[in-house]
Structure 1
Amino acid sequence: MTQIVVLPHVELCPDGAVFETTPGGTLCDALLDNGIDIEHACEKSCACTTCHVIVREGFDSLAEAEEEEEDLLDKAWGLEPQSRLSCQAVVGDTPLVVEIPRYTINMAREGKH
Protein backbone atom coordinates (compact mmCIF):
# COMPACT_ATOMS: atom_id res chain seq x y z
CA MET A 1 0.00 0.00 0.00
CA THR A 2 1.09 3.54 -0.74
CA GLN A 3 0.37 6.51 1.51
CA ILE A 4 -1.28 9.58 -0.04
CA VAL A 5 -1.37 12.85 1.91
CA VAL A 6 -3.82 15.44 0.59
CA LEU A 7 -3.20 18.98 1.76
CA PRO A 8 -6.25 20.90 3.01
CA HIS A 9 -8.63 22.18 0.33
CA VAL A 10 -11.41 24.59 1.30
CA GLU A 11 -14.23 22.63 -0.37
CA LEU A 12 -13.03 19.07 -0.97
CA CYS A 13 -11.20 18.25 2.28
CA PRO A 14 -10.91 21.22 4.65
CA ASP A 15 -8.81 19.28 7.15
CA GLY A 16 -6.68 17.50 4.57
CA ALA A 17 -6.54 13.72 4.38
CA VAL A 18 -4.17 10.80 4.75
CA PHE A 19 -4.98 7.38 3.29
CA GLU A 20 -3.42 4.27 1.81
CA THR A 21 -4.05 3.05 -1.72
CA THR A 22 -2.99 0.12 -3.85
CA PRO A 23 -0.22 0.94 -6.34
CA GLY A 24 -1.17 0.72 -10.01
CA GLY A 25 -4.34 2.81 -9.97
CA THR A 26 -4.64 6.46 -10.88
CA LEU A 27 -4.37 9.20 -8.34
CA CYS A 28 -7.85 10.41 -9.36
CA ASP A 29 -9.39 7.03 -8.56
CA ALA A 30 -7.54 6.90 -5.23
CA LEU A 31 -8.88 10.34 -4.28
CA LEU A 32 -12.45 9.44 -5.30
CA ASP A 33 -12.28 6.05 -3.54
CA ASN A 34 -11.30 7.85 -0.33
CA GLY A 35 -14.10 10.39 -0.27
CA ILE A 36 -12.34 13.30 -1.95
CA ASP A 37 -14.70 14.38 -4.70
CA ILE A 38 -12.15 15.83 -7.11
CA GLU A 39 -13.66 17.10 -10.34
CA HIS A 40 -13.23 14.90 -13.40
CA ALA A 41 -15.51 16.46 -16.01
CA CYS A 42 -14.23 14.30 -18.88
CA GLU A 43 -14.78 11.10 -16.88
CA LYS A 44 -11.01 10.51 -16.60
CA SER A 45 -10.33 10.38 -20.36
CA CYS A 46 -7.54 13.01 -20.44
CA ALA A 47 -9.74 15.54 -22.23
CA CYS A 48 -9.95 18.36 -19.67
CA THR A 49 -7.97 19.76 -16.73
CA THR A 50 -10.51 19.60 -13.91
CA CYS A 51 -8.60 16.86 -12.03
CA HIS A 52 -5.37 18.89 -12.00
CA VAL A 53 -3.24 18.37 -8.90
CA ILE A 54 0.17 19.53 -7.75
CA VAL A 55 2.36 16.72 -6.43
CA ARG A 56 4.33 18.40 -3.62
CA GLU A 57 6.28 15.26 -2.65
CA GLY A 58 6.94 12.10 -4.65
CA PHE A 59 6.58 13.78 -8.07
CA ASP A 60 9.72 12.15 -9.48
CA SER A 61 8.34 8.68 -8.67
CA LEU A 62 5.54 9.12 -11.23
CA ALA A 63 5.98 8.12 -14.85
CA GLU A 64 6.52 11.09 -17.14
CA ALA A 65 3.41 12.74 -18.51
CA GLU A 66 2.46 11.84 -22.08
CA GLU A 67 2.32 14.62 -24.68
CA GLU A 68 -1.49 14.78 -24.58
CA GLU A 69 -1.44 15.37 -20.82
CA GLU A 70 1.32 18.00 -21.15
CA ASP A 71 -0.74 19.87 -23.77
CA LEU A 72 -3.79 19.94 -21.49
CA LEU A 73 -1.78 20.95 -18.44
CA ASP A 74 -0.76 24.12 -20.27
CA LYS A 75 -4.42 25.20 -19.91
CA ALA A 76 -4.78 24.34 -16.20
CA TRP A 77 -5.34 27.03 -13.59
CA GLY A 78 -2.37 27.43 -11.25
CA LEU A 79 0.03 25.32 -13.33
CA GLU A 80 3.31 24.49 -11.57
CA PRO A 81 6.31 22.34 -12.57
CA GLN A 82 4.94 19.48 -10.40
CA SER A 83 1.44 19.63 -11.91
CA ARG A 84 -0.25 16.48 -13.16
CA LEU A 85 -3.71 15.42 -14.26
CA SER A 86 -4.70 13.00 -11.51
CA CYS A 87 -6.55 10.80 -14.02
CA GLN A 88 -3.23 10.13 -15.77
CA ALA A 89 -0.85 9.89 -12.80
CA VAL A 90 -0.46 6.24 -11.78
CA VAL A 91 0.39 5.69 -8.12
CA GLY A 92 3.54 3.66 -7.49
CA ASP A 93 5.22 2.57 -4.26
CA THR A 94 6.43 6.03 -3.22
CA PRO A 95 4.28 8.06 -0.82
CA LEU A 96 2.77 11.20 -2.36
CA VAL A 97 1.81 14.59 -0.96
CA VAL A 98 -0.82 16.20 -3.16
CA GLU A 99 -2.34 19.66 -3.35
CA ILE A 100 -5.63 20.21 -5.17
CA PRO A 101 -5.67 23.74 -6.64
CA ARG A 102 -8.39 26.05 -5.36
CA TYR A 103 -9.89 26.63 -8.81
CA THR A 104 -10.46 24.73 -12.04
CA ILE A 105 -11.47 25.95 -15.48
CA ASN A 106 -14.62 23.83 -15.57
CA MET A 107 -17.06 26.08 -17.41
CA ALA A 108 -19.90 23.56 -17.02
CA ARG A 109 -19.92 23.69 -13.22
CA GLU A 110 -22.44 26.39 -12.43
CA GLY A 111 -22.22 28.40 -9.24
CA LYS A 112 -18.70 27.22 -8.43
CA HIS A 113 -15.29 28.84 -8.88
Structure 2
Amino acid sequence: MPIIKILPHQELCPQGASITAAPGTSVCEALLENGIAIEHACDMSAACTTCHVVVRQGFASLNEMDETEEDLLDRAWGLEPDSRLSCQAIVAQKDLVIEIPKYTINHARENH
Protein backbone atom coordinates (compact mmCIF):
# COMPACT_ATOMS: atom_id res chain seq x y z
CA MET A 1 0.00 0.00 0.00
CA PRO A 2 1.18 3.53 -0.71
CA ILE A 3 2.61 5.59 2.14
CA ILE A 4 1.49 9.14 2.79
CA LYS A 5 4.08 11.18 4.65
CA ILE A 6 2.54 14.17 6.42
CA LEU A 7 4.91 17.03 7.14
CA PRO A 8 4.71 18.50 10.65
CA HIS A 9 1.69 20.72 11.37
CA GLN A 10 1.68 22.63 14.64
CA GLU A 11 -1.83 21.57 15.72
CA LEU A 12 -2.83 18.47 13.77
CA CYS A 13 0.41 16.53 13.54
CA PRO A 14 3.28 18.25 15.41
CA GLN A 15 5.83 15.51 14.77
CA GLY A 16 4.68 14.69 11.25
CA ALA A 17 3.54 11.18 10.42
CA SER A 18 3.67 8.37 7.89
CA ILE A 19 0.50 6.43 7.21
CA THR A 20 -0.60 3.83 4.67
CA ALA A 21 -3.60 4.23 2.42
CA ALA A 22 -5.34 1.80 0.14
CA PRO A 23 -5.42 2.87 -3.51
CA GLY A 24 -8.79 4.45 -4.27
CA THR A 25 -8.99 6.15 -0.87
CA SER A 26 -9.08 9.93 -0.68
CA VAL A 27 -6.22 11.62 1.12
CA CYS A 28 -8.76 13.13 3.55
CA GLU A 29 -10.21 9.71 4.41
CA ALA A 30 -6.72 8.29 4.95
CA LEU A 31 -5.77 11.13 7.29
CA LEU A 32 -8.97 10.82 9.32
CA GLU A 33 -8.71 7.02 9.53
CA ASN A 34 -5.23 7.46 11.02
CA GLY A 35 -6.14 10.01 13.68
CA ILE A 36 -5.07 13.17 11.86
CA ALA A 37 -8.09 15.43 12.30
CA ILE A 38 -7.90 17.52 9.15
CA GLU A 39 -10.80 19.93 8.82
CA HIS A 40 -13.54 18.87 6.42
CA ALA A 41 -16.42 21.24 7.08
CA CYS A 42 -18.50 20.08 4.09
CA ASP A 43 -18.16 16.40 5.02
CA MET A 44 -16.01 15.72 1.95
CA SER A 45 -18.58 16.88 -0.62
CA ALA A 46 -16.24 19.32 -2.42
CA ALA A 47 -18.17 22.37 -1.21
CA CYS A 48 -15.46 24.13 0.82
CA THR A 49 -11.66 24.34 1.04
CA THR A 50 -11.03 23.35 4.65
CA CYS A 51 -9.29 20.08 3.68
CA HIS A 52 -6.79 21.83 1.38
CA VAL A 53 -3.33 20.21 1.26
CA VAL A 54 -0.18 20.85 -0.74
CA VAL A 55 1.22 17.71 -2.38
CA ARG A 56 5.01 18.00 -2.11
CA GLN A 57 5.71 14.64 -3.79
CA GLY A 58 3.51 12.35 -5.86
CA PHE A 59 1.15 15.00 -7.26
CA ALA A 60 1.11 13.46 -10.76
CA SER A 61 -0.03 10.08 -9.38
CA LEU A 62 -3.32 11.51 -8.08
CA ASN A 63 -6.52 11.57 -10.11
CA GLU A 64 -7.15 14.63 -12.27
CA MET A 65 -8.92 17.61 -10.75
CA ASP A 66 -12.41 18.38 -11.93
CA GLU A 67 -13.67 21.91 -12.57
CA THR A 68 -15.42 22.16 -9.20
CA GLU A 69 -12.22 21.43 -7.30
CA GLU A 70 -10.23 23.87 -9.44
CA ASP A 71 -12.77 26.62 -8.77
CA LEU A 72 -12.82 25.98 -5.02
CA LEU A 73 -9.04 25.93 -4.73
CA ASP A 74 -8.96 29.53 -5.94
CA ARG A 75 -10.41 30.42 -2.51
CA ALA A 76 -8.02 28.31 -0.42
CA TRP A 77 -5.53 29.96 1.94
CA GLY A 78 -1.91 29.40 0.86
CA LEU A 79 -2.74 28.11 -2.62
CA GLU A 80 0.23 26.63 -4.48
CA PRO A 81 0.56 24.95 -7.91
CA ASP A 82 0.47 21.51 -6.25
CA SER A 83 -2.56 22.21 -4.04
CA ARG A 84 -5.47 19.78 -3.86
CA LEU A 85 -8.61 19.32 -1.82
CA SER A 86 -7.74 16.21 0.13
CA CYS A 87 -11.34 14.97 -0.10
CA GLN A 88 -11.03 14.89 -3.89
CA ALA A 89 -7.41 13.68 -4.20
CA ILE A 90 -7.53 9.91 -4.69
CA VAL A 91 -4.49 7.84 -3.76
CA ALA A 92 -3.09 5.66 -6.55
CA GLN A 93 -0.06 3.35 -6.31
CA LYS A 94 2.65 5.91 -5.49
CA ASP A 95 3.80 7.30 -2.16
CA LEU A 96 2.88 10.89 -1.34
CA VAL A 97 4.32 13.69 0.77
CA ILE A 98 1.74 16.26 1.84
CA GLU A 99 1.71 19.45 3.82
CA ILE A 100 -1.39 20.69 5.61
CA PRO A 101 -1.44 24.50 5.42
CA LYS A 102 -1.29 26.40 8.69
CA TYR A 103 -4.64 28.14 8.13
CA THR A 104 -7.98 27.54 6.44
CA ILE A 105 -10.75 29.94 5.51
CA ASN A 106 -13.00 28.26 8.07
CA HIS A 107 -13.80 30.79 10.80
CA ALA A 108 -15.49 28.29 13.12
CA ARG A 109 -13.75 24.96 13.45
CA GLU A 110 -16.13 22.00 13.42
CA ASN A 111 -15.76 19.03 15.77
CA HIS A 112 -15.85 16.09 13.38
Q: TM-score range by the shorter chain?
A: over 0.9
User: Counterpart of 1:4?
Assistant: 4
User: How many equivalent residue pairs?
Assistant: 110
1:7 corresponds to which letter in structure 2? L
Inter-partner Cα distance in structure 1 for 2:24 and 2:64: 15
Give how far 1:109 is off: 2.5
Inter-partner Cα distance in structure 1 for 2:19 and 2:65: 24
What SS does the corresponding residue of 1:56 show, helix, strand or coil?
strand
Which runs of 4 or more aligned residues in structure 1 lie more than 6 Å from their structure 2 counterparts after TM superposition? none
2:56 corresponds to which letter in structure 1? R
User: Counterpart of 1:101?
Assistant: 101
User: Counterpart of 1:61?
Assistant: 61
1:9 corresponds to which letter in structure 2? H
**Could you tell me whether the CA contact under 8 Å between 2:3 and 2:19 is conserved in 1?**
yes
Inter-partner Cα distance in structure 2 for 1:96 and 1:70: 20
Inter-partner Cα distance in structure 1 for 2:103 and 2:53: 11
Give how far 1:18 is off: 0.5
Q: List gaps (5 residues or longer) in structure 1.
A: none
Give how far 1:21 is off: 1.2
TM-score (norm 2): 0.96
Confirm or deny that 1:89 pairs with 2:95.
Answer: no
Cα displacement string for residues 67-109 of structure 1 (whole angstroms, at most 9, x for unaligned residues): 0000000000000000000000000000000000000000232
Inter-partner Cα distance in structure 1 for 2:99 and 2:108: 23
Cα displacement string for residues 46-67 of structure 1 (whole angstroms, at most 9, x for unaligned residues): 0000000000000011121100
User: Counterpart of 1:28?
Assistant: 28
